[in-house]
């Protein structure tokens, strides 16, 4: 047949219906056959030609499209190995490109798997990097496991109830002298200081007065200059200070010649003797250090507890030995000073636990949540891989028939899973890197050791390990699938007919697992959300809207006279009151939910001091000006609030809270009774009013007894409440518009005075709940992803079932099965694993809910929550089942039964 | 690993049609397609034919026969297919199966003629 005509162009074009692979192999032959045949048909006349063309064109297109759906090829494996012993070792180099090619042929599938894995691994790596930085890494000091914090504890029999409280100077000195287990002990007191002199921008920074031994305990070395020595016994004018790296860079441009220069701190000249390295941050956030001067002749009150202490254990001494020695010493103290040390003693805590104590449970919950998420992700992806294996069942069976060892096929699946997991791990690590860099500068996320959160070697190792585990899990299931059941049974079964339910059980179990884990995550998140919402909805007893806060601290030399301070506040408040839009200006020593000044002793006139077992006479004080109650809209229960008349020279008055009245004046009328603050020995104040309770410590903590004193009547001895106050400015407009004018009012009065922590009351309260908000948000996001993946799993399995059972459904339809019955059949099929998963998940969640951080206003076993979560998951799964079910209903008996 | 031919049964009619056609010896595809239903009642269009060829080749039932080619230049060269021994065994197994089916049909008086054995 020489001189054969080239095939018609139309045919070449029609052949494009076939996938490229097929075309490459057979298109030329097919076209040649066509041309030959066309020549034969020509002789039969025009009609025959048209008929031939129509039939062939239709068939070529149909076959081409069918080929795209189900390839006739068993793609060629790289030469199957006949040496079973060496099969473990060789062939990887061939499998890798082969698996890669196969994945590239299904980019949608590969992308979905990689992104889902990246989500799971990324969330885990991000949370782990936090756990690593905060909980696992040693503190950044040499031999930091030898560092121990020293704390005081007040048991109720002492009259107080503080599980953790700082020491007093005499207690520190005694312990330092008496112990034999510490190589060194250091103490410090933190405070906020103003740095900057005339002509400089004043700045408020956190400072610490420290014993020279503190740096020795930490084994810190300066970046520049020297540390404090025993000679630095001066905290005040001409005293030495050490700067943090940050302050040195910011205020001195990192100049090397600043050692020996002077710096104005709190209005007096100090000498800069050293600069600490950038990484050094102890106590956390402190920017400037001054010597803590302890005068052996005058140690101060043993009951004035404001000194934090850490120590370094002597080599060879264990923590337990030191604690035992402490117990012995404490018995001695109690015998010597029973009035002070009954129910009050010191104890030790490893410094790391001490630093991170409060966030441990939260991080634990987040870590568990991300682990669950990853499990869901793995189950989902495994399910997908199984579905794909199902589609390739014939290919695999034929391969086995042609001599590919099962091990070979398992290995091929493993290589494929490995590629997917590695890609997922890489993308996930990138997600985590973004998340961590965001977290480190996110507003309001307040974690200890934040600066140590980083993607270090251990985090990368963790990411790699997760990817490896994921790869193992993912290759295991298809491997079971490949090796289970005879090859023959696979070959015999046409993939388009009924696939044995036996093979679907793995995927069903995976769906059940996914649903169970999603239920656990959702229940946890739902509890946290409700707890948070209830906490935000609780009436704190005051309002935070339309109020601006700004803190000022009068430096002592310039305002050492109380009258001068009062005059300054009088004038500041007068000027603030007349600002446009301002309806009220006042001040307070402390602001509810923002800060307090501790719990102070008081005495009630005409009463015996409480004995052991009775409530001690102490409560939280607040020193406020007239208008404060009104500015934050507290409730007046009886009597009156303060007026502008309650000034220094007038009769001293006090307003107590309802909780105060309940606790200390049960069954009595407190109005008209007199009490005095412990520090204020000679002055009794008359109770003139009872204010409604407020939640001042935290929204989640019940109102506690509070007493309010007029700020102008503060005695000069209460130095810091007198000097450091927060201005409270109420406006009828947006308080966020005020900071500029408030600052300029203060600047007009005293250009040297920094105004700081300027923010609306709303913002301040929001930041006080930032941590629970953040935790709740994260958990909700994880739970949302978990639910989405779970629902996707339900959909996937049911859609697969429908596709597999199309012929069966067609027969049922043809035999007249009513639609309702089919719907029921499909839903039961799809939802059986869901219901099982919900039941199991609910039970586990009920047990695990006790591990959640403390909830507010809701029980961890709140029945409604669990019912709503279960119903919600069931509803979501039902909706996911609807689409495949509808597809099943649309199956036409003809199509279903036709064999293409 | 060897495979029992019976594991592949029953064969789709089109596949069996191709195996039958190759039973006498290597042929090229041209002779396998039928526009009108043949004796076995199977009609095989070109597109479907090549899918079946690909499938049977992949599964090892038939193979390209390199010893038999048409004359002419390389562009005129056409692929010949032959039954592999495995393919022959599968075809025999299918025939036996069909025979059994036929016997059954006769017993049930669905078909005429005498049984095979």
Nearest CA in chain A to B29: A33
* DSSP run (H or E) holding A291: strand A288-291
Residue-level pLDDT at A496: 43
pLDDT at res. A198: 67
> In this predicted structure, what is the pLDDT of residue A703?
92
CA of A42 vs chain B CAs: smallest distance (Å)? 14
Per-residue pLDDT tens digits for B22-47: 888 888 777 777 666 677 777 788 88
Is residue A46 very low, low, confident or very high in pLDDT (cuts 50, 70, 90)?
confident
Of A352-366, A602-616, A731-745, which range is least confident? A602-616
Distance CA A175, CA A307 (A): 13
Secondary structure (3-state) at A572: helix
Dist CA A321 CA A316 (whole Å): 10
Dist CA A401 CA A482 (whole Å): 13
How much is the ipTM here?
A: 0.84
| Predicted pLDDT at A303 | 77
The closest CB to that of A400, out of B1, B28, B72, belongs to B1
Average pLDDT score over residue span A836-848: 93
Contact A889, A823 (CB under 8 A): yes
Size of interface A-B (CB pairs under 8 A): 94
Pick from B3, B58, B78: CB nearest A72: B58
Q: How many CB atoms lie within 10 A of CB A525?
A: 24
Residue A65 touches chain B, beta carbons under 8 Å: no
Strands A147-154 and A268-275: what pairing? unpaired
| pLDDT at residue A329, as a whole number | 92
In percent, how much of chain A has pLDDT > 70? Answer: 87
Average pLDDT in the A691-700 region? 91
* A70 contacts chain B (CB < 8 A): no
Answer yes or no: are the C-beta atoms of A719 and A266 closer than 8 Å: no
pLDDT band, very low/low/confident/very high, at A655 (cuts 50, 70, 90): very high
**Residue from B50, B57, B65, B70 whose CB has the most chain A CBs within 10 Å, to mutate:** B50
What is the signed CA dihedral for A30, A31, A33, A39, rounded to 10 degrees? Answer: 160
A888: pLDDT strictly greater than 50: yes
Task: Give B-chain residues touching A64 at CB under 8 angstroms.
Answer: 47
Which among A470, A464, A459 is positioned nearest to A375, based on CA atoms? Answer: A470
**Cβ(A136)–Cβ(A458) below 8 Å:** yes
The B27-28 sheet, strands edge to edge: B27-28, B80-83, B62-65
Residue A866: pLDDT band (50, 70, 90) is: very high
**What distance lies between CA A791 and its chain's CA centroid?**
25
Residue A8 has pLDDT above 70, yes or no: yes
Stretch A837-865: mean pLDDT: 90
> Which of A2, A30, A64 lies closest to B72 in CB terms?
A2
Report the range of poorest mean pLDDT among A523-537, A800-814, B17-31. Answer: A800-814
How far apart, in whole angstroms, are the C-alpha atoms of residue A706 and residue A602?
A: 11
How many whole angstroms from its chain centre is CA A187? 32
Confidence of residue A230 (pLDDT cuts 50, 70, 90): confident
pLDDT at A428 over 80: yes
Verify whether the Cβ–Cβ distance A36 to B53 is below 8 Å. no
- Of the candidates B46, B53, B79, the beta carbon closest to that of A56 is on B46
Query: For residue A480, what pLDDT is reported?
Result: 65
As a whole number, mean pLDDT of residues A405-420 equals: 78
Q: Tell me, what's the pLDDT at A753?
A: 82
CATH of domain B6-107: 1.10.10.10
pLDDT for the residue A615: 62
Q: Quote the pLDDT of residue A86.
A: 43
Residue A869 has pLDDT above 90, yes or no: yes
pLDDT tens digits, residue range A237-250?
Answer: 678 999 999 999 98
pLDDT beyond 70 at A80: no
Q: What's the pLDDT at A326?
A: 92
Rounded to 10°, the helix A393-402/A406-441 angle is 140
Whether the pLDDT of residue A680 is over 60: the answer is no
Among chain A residues, the shortest Cα distance to B52 is held by A72
Q: Which of the given ranges, A440-444, A532-536, A576-580, has the highest pLDDT on average?
A: A576-580
Considering A420-434, A707-721, A770-784, the range whose residues carry the highest mean pLDDT is: A420-434
- Between A404 and A586, the more confident residue is A586
Taking the Cβ of residue A497 and every Cβ of chain B, the question of whether any pair is shorter than 8 Å is answered with no
Give the lowest-confidence range in A20-29, A274-283, B64-73, B75-84.
Answer: B64-73
pLDDT at A88 over 50: no
pLDDT at A92 over 50: yes
Q: Compute the nearest-CA separation of A27 from chain B (Å).
A: 9
From B55's Cα to the closest Cα of chain A, the distance in A is 5
Round the average pLDDT of chain A to a whole number and report it.
83
Tell me the CB-side half-sphere exposure of residue A218, using CA atoms within 13 A. 27
| Among A728, A730, A727, residue whose Cα is nearest residue A582 | A730
Instruction: Check CB contact under 8 Å for A55 and B45.
Output: yes
| A408 or A469, greater pLDDT | A469
Residue A175: per-residue pLDDT: 93
B-chain CB neighbours of A34 within 8 Å are 46
pLDDT of residue A179: 92
Q: State residue B35's pLDDT score.
A: 61
Determine if residue B65 is left, alpha or beta; phi over 0 gives left, psi from -120 to 50 gives alpha, anything else beta: beta
Nearest Cα residue to A356 out of A131, A550, A553 = A131
Q: What is the mean pLDDT of residues A666-674?
A: 91
User: What is the Cα–Cα distance from A563 to A715, expressed in whole angstroms?
Assistant: 11
The predicted pLDDT at position A85 comes to: 42
Q: What is the pLDDT of residue B80?
A: 82
Cβ-defined contact of B60 to A401 (cutoff 8 Å): yes
Confidence of residue A679 (pLDDT cuts 50, 70, 90): low
Model pLDDT, residue A411: 77
CB–CB of A540/A714 below 8 Å? no
Residue A874 near chain B (CB below 8 Å): no
Rank A251-260, A293-302, A399-408, B76-85 by mean pLDDT and report only the highest: A251-260
Q: Say if A22 is an interface residue toward chain B (CB within 8 Å).
A: yes
Q: Which of A371-385, A608-622, A678-692, B70-84 has the highest mean pLDDT?
A: A371-385
List pLDDT tens digits, range A472-516: 888 777 666 555 555 555 555 444 444 444 567 777 888 899 899
Q: Residue A546 pLDDT > 80, yes or no?
A: yes
Tell me, what's the pLDDT at A395?
67
- Quote the pLDDT of residue A237: 66
Mean pLDDT over residues A254-283, rounded?
88
Sign of the alpha-carbon dihedral angle for A350, A355, A361, A366: negative
User: Region A340-366: what's the mean pLDDT?
Assistant: 85
Would you state the pLDDT for residue A653? 93
Q: Do B47 and A60 touch (CB under 8 A)?
A: yes
What is the model's pLDDT at position B72?
52
Arithmetic mean of pLDDT, A33-57:
85
The tens digit of pLDDT for each residue in A464-479 reads 999 998 888 887 776 6
Q: What is the DSSP string of A433-466?
A: HHHHHHHHH-TT---TTGGG----HHHHHHHHHH
Name the residue in chain A with its Cα closest to that of B7.
Answer: A488
Closest chain B C-alpha to A390 CA, distance in angstroms:
18
More confidently predicted of B114 and A385? A385
CB atoms B58 and A398 under 8 Å: yes
């Amino acid at each position: 047949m020489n001189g054969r005509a080239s095939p018609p162009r139309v045919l070449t074009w029609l052949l494009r219906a076939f996938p490229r692979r097929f075309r490459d192999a057979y298109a030329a032959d097919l076209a040649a056959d066509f041309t030959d045949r066309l020549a034969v048909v020509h002789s039969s006349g025009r009609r025959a030609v048209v008929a031939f063309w129509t039939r062939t064109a239709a068939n070529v297109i149909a076959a081409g499209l069918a080929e795209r759906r189900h390839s006739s090829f068993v793609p060629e494996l790289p030469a199957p190995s006949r040496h079973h012993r060496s099969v473990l070792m060789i062939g990887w180099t061939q499998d890798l490109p082969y698996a890669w090619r196969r994945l590239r042929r299904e980019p949608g599938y590969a992308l979905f798997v990689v992104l889902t894995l990246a989500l799971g691994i990324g969330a885990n790596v991000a949370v782990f990097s936090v756990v690593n930085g905060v909980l696992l890494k040693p503190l950044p000091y040499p031999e930091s496991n030898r560092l121990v914090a020293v704390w005081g504890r007040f048991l109720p029999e002492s009259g107080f109830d503080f599980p953790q409280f700082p020491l007093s100077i005499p207690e520190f000195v005694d312990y330092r002298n008496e112990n034999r287990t510490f190589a060194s002990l250091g103490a410090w007191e933190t405070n906020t200081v103003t740095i900057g002199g005339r002509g400089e921008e004043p700045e408020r920074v956190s400072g610490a007065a420290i014993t020279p031994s503190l740096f020795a305990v930490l084994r810190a070395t300066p970046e520049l200059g020297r540390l404090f020595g025993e000679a630095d016994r001066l905290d005040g004018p001409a005293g030495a200070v050490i700067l943090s790296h940050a302050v040195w860079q910011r205020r001195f441009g990192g100049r090397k010649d600043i050692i020996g220069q002077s710096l104005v701190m709190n209005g007096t000249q100090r000498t800069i003797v050293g600069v600490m390295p950038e990484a050094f941050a102890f106590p956390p956030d402190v920017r400037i250090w001054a010597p803590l001067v302890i005068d052996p002749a005058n140690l101060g009150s043993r009951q004035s507890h404001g000194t934090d202490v850490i120590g370094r254990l002597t080599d060879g001494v264990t923590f337990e030995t030191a604690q035992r020695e402490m117990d012995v010493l404490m018995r001695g103290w109690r015998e010597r000073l029973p009035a002070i040390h009954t129910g009050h003693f010191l104890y030790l805590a490893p410094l790391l636990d001490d630093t991170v104590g409060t966030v441990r449970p939260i991080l634990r919950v987040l870590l568990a949540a991300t682990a669950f998420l990853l499990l869901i992700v793995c189950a989902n992806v495994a399910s997908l891989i199984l579905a794909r294996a199902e589609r390739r069942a014939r290919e695999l069976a034929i391969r086995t028939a042609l001599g590919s060892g099962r091990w070979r096929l398992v290995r091929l699946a493993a290589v494929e899973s490995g590629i997917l997991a590695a890609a997922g791990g890489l993308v996930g690590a990138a997600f985590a890197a973004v998340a961590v860099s965001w977290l480190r500068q996110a507003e309001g996320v307040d974690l200890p050791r934040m600066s140590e959160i980083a993607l270090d070697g251990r985090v990368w190792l963790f990411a790699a390990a997760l990817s490896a585990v994921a790869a193992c899990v993912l290759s295991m299931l298809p491997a079971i699938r490949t090796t289970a059941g005879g090859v023959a049974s696979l070959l015999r079964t046409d993939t388009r007919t009924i696939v044995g339910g036996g093979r679907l059980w793995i995927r069903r179990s995976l769906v059940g697992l996914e649903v169970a884990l999603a239920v656990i995550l959702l229940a946890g998140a739902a509890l946290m959300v409700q707890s948070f919402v209830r906490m935000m909805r609780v009436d704190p007893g005051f309002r935070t809207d339309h109020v601006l806060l700004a803190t000022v601290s009068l430096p002592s030399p310039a305002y050492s006279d109380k009258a001068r301070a009062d005059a300054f506040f009088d004038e500041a408040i007068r000027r603030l009151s007349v600002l446009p839009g301002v309806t009220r200006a006042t001040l307070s020593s402390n602001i509810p939910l923002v800060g307090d000044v501790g719990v102070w002793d008081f005495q009630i006139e005409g009463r015996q001091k409480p004995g052991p077992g009775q409530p001690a006479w102490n409560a939280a004080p607040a020193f406020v000006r007239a208008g404060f109650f009104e500015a934050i809209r507290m409730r007046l229960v009886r009597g009156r609030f303060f007026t502008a008349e309650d000034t220094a020279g007038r009769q001293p008055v006090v307003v107590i809270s309802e909780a105060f009245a309940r606790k200390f004046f049960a069954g009595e009328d407190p109005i008209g009774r007199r009490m005095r603050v412990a520090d204020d020995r000679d002055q009794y104040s008359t109770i003139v009013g009872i204010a409604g309770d407020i939640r001042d410590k935290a929204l989640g903590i019940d109102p506690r007894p509070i007493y309010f004193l007029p700020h102008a009547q503060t005695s000069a001895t209460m130095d810091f409440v007198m000097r450091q106050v927060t201005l409270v400015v109420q406006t009828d407009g947006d308080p966020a518009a005020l900071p500029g004018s408030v600052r300029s009012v203060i600047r007009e009065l005293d250009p040297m005075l920094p105004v700081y922590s300027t923010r609306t009351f709303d913002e301040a309260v929001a930041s006080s709940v930032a941590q629970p908000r953040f935790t709740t948000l994260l958990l909700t996001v994880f739970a949302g992803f978990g639910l989405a993946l779970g629902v996707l799993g339900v959909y996937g399995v049911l859609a697969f079932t429908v596709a597999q059972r199309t012929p069966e459904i067609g027969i049922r339809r043809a035999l007249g099965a009513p639609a309702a019955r089919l719907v029921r059949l499909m839903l039961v099929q799809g939802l059986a694993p869901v219901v099982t998963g919900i039941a199991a998940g609910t039970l586990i969640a009920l047990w695990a809910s006790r591990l959640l951080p403390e909830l507010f206003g809701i029980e961890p076993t709140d029945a409604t929550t669990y019912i709503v979560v279960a119903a919600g998951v069931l509803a979501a799964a039902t909706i996911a089942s609807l689409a495949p079910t509808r597809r099943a209903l649309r199956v036409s008996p003809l199509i279903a039964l036709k064999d293409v | 690993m060897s495979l029992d031919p019976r594991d592949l049964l029953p064969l789709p009619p089109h596949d069996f049609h191709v195996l039958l056609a190759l039973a006498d010896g290597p042929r090229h595809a041209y002779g396998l397609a039928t526009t009108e239903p043949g004796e076995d009642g199977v009609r095989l269009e070109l597109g479907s034919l090549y899918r079946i060829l690909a499938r049977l080749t992949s599964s090892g039932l038939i193979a390209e026969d390199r010893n038999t080619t048409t004359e002419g230049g390389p562009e005129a060269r056409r692929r010949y297919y032959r039954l592999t021994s495995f393919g022959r065994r599968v075809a025999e197994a299918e025939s036996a199966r069909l025979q059994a089916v036929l016997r059954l049909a006769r017993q049930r008086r669905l078909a005429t003629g005498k049984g095979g054995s």
